[in-house]
Structure formats: C-alpha cells, structure tokens
Structure 1
Amino acid sequence: MTVSSVGRRERKKAATRQAIADAALRLFLEHGYDQVSIRDIADAADVSTTTVFKHFTGKEALVFDQEQDREAQLIAVIRQRTSGQSILDALRQHVLDTWPPIETHPQRAEFTHLVDSTPELRAYAGHMWTRHTDALATAIADELGADHDDLACATLAHYVLEIPTLARGRQDPRAAVEMIFDILTHGWRPPTAH
C-alpha cells in the first residue's frame, strides 16, 4: 500500500511540475519572457507561487524544465554503460538520444527566438550543459581510476558538454554531433579543400 501511495504522490508532483512548465512556456511564447511574472504562471497553472518555487529555482528554469535531472543522467551514462562500451561511445549515444530531438521539435523556432531574444535565457542556455562539467569529469575519472582533478577527464567532459552549443542551428544536427564526437575520438584533422 505504501508503494502505490508514493507512486501516486510522485506522479502528482510530476504532473504539477509539467503543468507549471507548460503554462510558463505558453505564456512566454505568447507575451514575451519579461512580460510574464511568476504570479502569472502560477495563476495559469492553477497553483500558488510557493508551489512554482518548490518545483523551479526561477523563471529561467521554467523555460528549461528538462534540466533538473541532466547531471544524474550524465553520471548514469558513464557508470551504467554496457560492458565493453567506451566512455565516449556512451556519451555519444546519450547526446544523440537527448539533444537532436530538441532541435527538431515543432516549436523549436519559436523557442529559439524566445531564448535568443532574451539575454537572461541566452546566458542560462549557454551554461545549461556546461555547469555539469565537474560532476561529469569526476565520473569519468572514477571510471578510469584517475584523480578527480585530472585535466584530460575535465577536458573531455567540457568538450562533450559544449557539443549542443557547437551543433546548434546546423542543418543536420545529428551529423554535427557525430562529426564532433569523431573529432574527440580520433583527433582533429584539417578539412580538405573542396
């Protein structure tokens, strides 16, 4: 009995969180980021402002509502990869599974315009993935038996987390991700003249 009530509670929390995020994005797209208050979002989602802040740290987090579990997912990718799978291959698969679908979403153009036209959101987006560099570098170092301050592990983590920024807006986001991972895997080679 306890298990089902916990499950129900978690489902309700997740549904409330999603309702808040959906209301926020709708309002931001309709009225602009700066014209929408937390109170507006709470009213649209039929919750209190306190409830909004229980689920989100601020307005920026409402726009990027999927950010919450990213660090745990990145660490799990490293620690739970299949036997024989390299760290880079596991990270490549994770980025390919999570990032290109965002780039091809039907609301991407509207969402991108919202982010690009709002300095706070541009800054938040720029740091969204890279804020997890230390945690990812530590997970990589742990898997390799290296020191937590190992520069090679930190460098790899940093560049992997920059991939969405580098590949953003490319005609074929998936191909861009693959190309960047190929550079990380095999090293950089100068492009040949066409």
Structure 2
Amino acid sequence: MEEGLRERKKRETRRRISDMATGLFLMRGFDQVTVAEVARAADVSVNTVFNYFGTKEDLFLDRQADLEEIYRGVVRDRRPGESVVDAFRRDFLDALDTGDWRYGFHEGAEVWGRVVAESPALRARTLEIERQVMACVAAAIEEEADADPDDVRPELVAAQILSTTRLLSRHALRRRTAGESPREVEAWLREQAEALFDLLESGIGGYGRRPLVVAEDGEAAGDEEEDDVEGDHRRP
C-alpha cells in the first residue's frame, strides 16, 4: 500500500529531528546539548520533539525497534538445519562485511562510542535497551523452539549470544581507538568470532578444565590420590 502524505511527512520530520540531534550530540557531547537546541536546529517546537521521542536519550538511541525487528528476523529466518547460535554467527560476520551499525562497524563508531561513554544518562539507557532487546530475542527463541513458559533456556541462549556480540564489538572499538588498522581489527574479529561462536555451539562445560597431572608411571596423579582416599574409607 502506498504511503500516505501525512505518514510520509511524519516520518520525514522524525528523521530530520533525529539527524539534527545526532549531529549536535556527536559534535558537542550529549550532556552539552539541550532539547531546545535540537528543536531549533530541526525547525520544530520542543513539544514536537517529545511527540516523536519520549526522552532526550531516545534522540540519540532511536533505533531500538529496528534492532528488535532485525534480531527477530535472525531467529525466525534460520536456514534449514541451522541453530540459533549459527544464525547469529552468520549475521555477525555478514554485518562485519557490510559495516553494519548494530555491532559498531559503521564509520564514526569511535565517536559514537565516546559520546555514550561520557554520558551517564546514555550509559544507563543503553543498558536498559540491552535488557529489552535480550527479552525480545529470548521471546523469539522461545516461540521458535516451542518452549514451555517455565523453561528459562531461551533466555540463557539469548543472553549468551548477545553478550558475545557485545564483547566482540567492545573489544573491536577499543582496538580501533588504540590505533589498529581496520584490516587488523577485522582479521582479529573474524578469528575471535569463529572461536566464541564455536564455544557457544559446543557448550562451555569443557572450557577451562584443569588438566590432569600425569605421573611418570603414566597414571593421573588425581586418580592415585582418589584411590588413597577410598582406601582410607575402607579401613576399620
């Protein structure tokens, strides 16, 4: 259905306000810009700004709905035989190829990250968005797996996957900020992403297991100690 004139104007107004706000925040910092200044730059009233954005923080972090819809699609549109973990692995690596904003691969991500880091209000809002997005992904996994409402495994899977992508994105941003070349960061990201998603796919139960100490006679030292203990238990 063709978009109506009224809807198109509303969408354009929202985009103009968002673009003006983002430009000011990136240039001067989030806490140094008022909503009134954003309104003047966008040639609208302050009330109009709040008609489109519930809070000042939403002016800068305004793509939560897009993020949730994309992630629902990652879960819903898995290939035949593809697990949720591998679907997100593929999504992450594809995003690396295209410079996707969701994982901080877009141009200017360093400046964006600095603005968020310098604002307590934005940091708090980012955490809240992360919780809401995780709940959205967990609900999508629960639906796809036809899980019981009391089954918390979909929530665990969502938390592990999104923690992994955030961890990778955060370290990539630090490396770029430290002066590593895009090629170096990309190579590191690909290697680490494959390793971390492999770990998620196989399960973390065996990771970090302390190796047994093998004695000269070829027996594990732990086994010998266990035998001694059992022998003590058998004594009258």
CA distance in structure 2 between the aligned counterparts of 1:39 and 1:98, rounded to whole angstroms: 35
Partner of 2:223: none
When Rg is computed on C-alpha atoms for both structures, the one with the higher figure is 2
Q: Deviation of residue 132 (structure 1)?
A: 2.2
Residues 64, 133 of structure 2: 8 Å contact kept: no
Relative distance call for 1:98 and 1:120 in structure 2 (3 A) is farther
Task: Tell whether the 8 Å contact from 1:137 to 1:148 is kept in structure 2 after alignment.
Answer: no
Runs of 5+ consecutive residues of structure 2 not aligned to the other structure = 176-184, 210-236
Aligned CA distance change for structure 1 residues 54 and 160 (closer, same or farther; 3 Å): farther
Among the aligned pairs, what percent are the same residue? 35
TM-score (norm 2): 0.69
Q: Which moved more, 1:175-184 or 1:112-121?
A: 175-184
In the alignment, which residue of structure 1 is the partner of 2:100?
Answer: 101
Map of 1:19 onto structure 2 = 16
Aligned to 1:77: 74
Give runs of aligned pairs for residues 1-194 of structure 1, distance below 5 A. Answer: 3-6=1-4, 8-98=5-95, 101-102=100-101, 103-167=104-168, 168-170=170-172, 171=175, 172=185, 174-175=189-190, 176-188=192-204, 189-190=207-208
Against the structure 1 CA distance between its residues 21 and 169, is the aligned structure 2 distance closer, same or farther, given a 3 Å change threshold?
Answer: farther
Q: State the superposition RMSD in angstroms.
A: 2.5
Q: Deviations over 1:31-85 (max 9, x none)?
A: 2212211111111112222332232221111112222322232223222333333
Listed as ranges, the gaps of 5+ residues in structure 1 are none
Amino acid at match of 1:123: A
Structure-1-length-normalised TM-score: 0.81
Instruction: Tell me the distance in 2 between the aligned counterparts of 1:66 and 1:161.
Output: 17
